[in-house]
């Protein structure tokens, strides 16, 4: 795939760092760097509720403050389009999000990721929704032993069910880092002999793919491809990927096959670096690996979101 001189899009940029001292950046600073990489469509997001409440106190204030910054950036760089977004989480297998619809509709677009083990399915009772985050399980023996008891097949079925529910949700614009959760759970919490995710059919067999991707296509929900997802041996750049991604923690050989299927179903694909600025300002708009992945997967450029009109805006 040759994108030629087409301008790119980076739809997953965090304006604050996750770790102390939680420094932030202005939209203008982000746009300036993005433009150097020929990125002319930008999506800035904060985690909801995390970053939004921490730095801005409320969604209303977040919208007011960031839209002000977007206006300033637009005056200096009129050729760049900046969208205001949020990164929320899916909590249950039946698609419950951690954000209310009226709140989500205040922003332009909604990224949703699976940051917890979805509750209400085969693995986790409903009351445990949002309680087992992929990150905080580390060093927590109670959760670790809980996870060890899980049956891998059940875990994957819960992922499939939650993913399908998400593809039916009218608020969702982009499914963020779609396979990160099963990979992280498998690699972090299961001994190597139980790593059952080898080929794409182990995650999405054809009949499930049919259901998930025909819904995604119908709804216009994009699947995100991150610059760190390409397996290390295929990379064209190993400098501008996140720390864990450098060693290939979130990459997977099945990723190319996954996006091949995404392409075959003509589901939209979005590009996102998940850069947390200012520490990762250098990573903004660095998408060479993501584009290589899509080339290997044979995704046609018409299915890649490069313009505002291609995004399913919140609640439409
Ligand atoms: Zn995320
Ligand atoms: Zn993110």
pLDDT, one tens digit per residue, over 268-309 is 999 999 999 999 999 999 999 999 999 999 999 999 999 999
Token pair for 29: 């600073």
Ligand nearest to the CA of 273: 2
Q: For the chain, what percentages of helix, strand and coil (3-state, to nearest 5) are there?
A: 40, 15, 40
- The pLDDT, as a whole number, for residue 134 is 74
CA angle 212, 251, 132 (to 5 degrees): 70
User: What are the angstrom distances between the C-alpha of 6 and each of 2, 3, 56, 95, 268?
Assistant: 9, 6, 35, 35, 17
- The pLDDT, as a whole number, for residue 190 is 76
Distance 186 CA to ligand 1 centre (A): 17
Distance 185 CA to ligand 1 centre (A): 14
User: What are the angstrom distances between the C-alpha of 47 and each of 106, 119, 140, 256?
Assistant: 15, 20, 23, 27
Q: What is the pTM of this model?
A: 0.95
Distance 3 CA to ligand 1 centre (A): 27
User: What are the angstrom distances between the C-alpha of 64 and each of 56, 58, 200?
Assistant: 10, 10, 43
Q: What is the mean pLDDT of residues 36-49?
A: 96
**pLDDT tens figures, 162-199:** 999 999 999 999 999 998 888 887 887 777 887 888 89
- Residue 62: helix, strand or coil by DSSP? helix
Distance 46 CA to ligand 2 centre (A): 8
Distance 14 CA to ligand 2 centre (A): 6
What residue has token string 């899916």? Answer: 90
What region does 209 belong to: left with phi over 0, alpha with psi -120 to 50, or beta?
Answer: alpha
Distance 115 CA to ligand 1 centre (A): 6
- The pLDDT, as a whole number, for residue 194 is 78
Ordered by where they begin, the domains of the chain are 8-310 (3.20.20.140)
Q: Distance (Å, rounded) from C-alpha 175 to C-alpha 109? A: 11
Q: Kindly list the protein residues that place their beta carbon closer than 5 angstroms to ligand 2, a single-atom ion.
A: 87, 274
């Amino acid at each position: 795939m040759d994108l030629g001189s087409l301008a790119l899009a980076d739809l997953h940029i965090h304006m604050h760092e996750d770790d102390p001292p939680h420094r932030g950046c202005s939209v203008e600073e982000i746009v300036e760097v993005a433009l150097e990489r020929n990125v002319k469509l930008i999506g800035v997001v904060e985690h909801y509720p995390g970053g939004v409440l921490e730095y801005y106190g409320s969604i209303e204030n977040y919208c007011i403050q960031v839209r002000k910054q977007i206006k300033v950036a637009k005056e200096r760089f009129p050729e760049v389009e900046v969208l205001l977004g949020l990164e929320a989480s899916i909590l249950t297998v039946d698609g419950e999000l951690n954000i209310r619809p009226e709140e989500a509709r205040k922003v332009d677009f909604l990224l949703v990721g699976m940051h917890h083990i979805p509750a209400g399915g085969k693995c986790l009772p409903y009351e445990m929704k949002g309680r087992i985050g992929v990150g905080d399980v580390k060093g927590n023996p109670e959760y670790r032993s809980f996870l060890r008891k899980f049956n891998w097949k059940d875990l994957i079925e819960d992922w499939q069910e939650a993913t399908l529910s998400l593809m039916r949700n009218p608020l969702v614009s982009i499914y963020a880092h779609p396979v990160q959760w099963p990979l992280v759970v498998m690699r972090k919490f299961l001994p190597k002999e139980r790593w059952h995710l080898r080929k794409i059919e182990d995650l999405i067999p054809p009949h499930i793919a049919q259901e998930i991707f025909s819904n995604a296509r119908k709804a216009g929900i994009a699947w995100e491809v991150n610059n760190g997802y390409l397996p290390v041996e295929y990379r064209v750049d190993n400098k501008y990927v996140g720390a864990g991604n450098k060693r290939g923690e979130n990459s997977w050989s099945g990723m190319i096959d996954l996006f091949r299927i995404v392409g075959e179903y003509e589901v939209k694909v979005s590009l996102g670096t998940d850069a947390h600025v200012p520490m990762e300002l250098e990573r903004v708009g660095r998408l060479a690996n993501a584009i290589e992945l899509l080339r290997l997967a044979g995704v046609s450029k018409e299915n890649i979101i490069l313009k505002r009109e291609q995004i399913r805006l919140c609640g439409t």
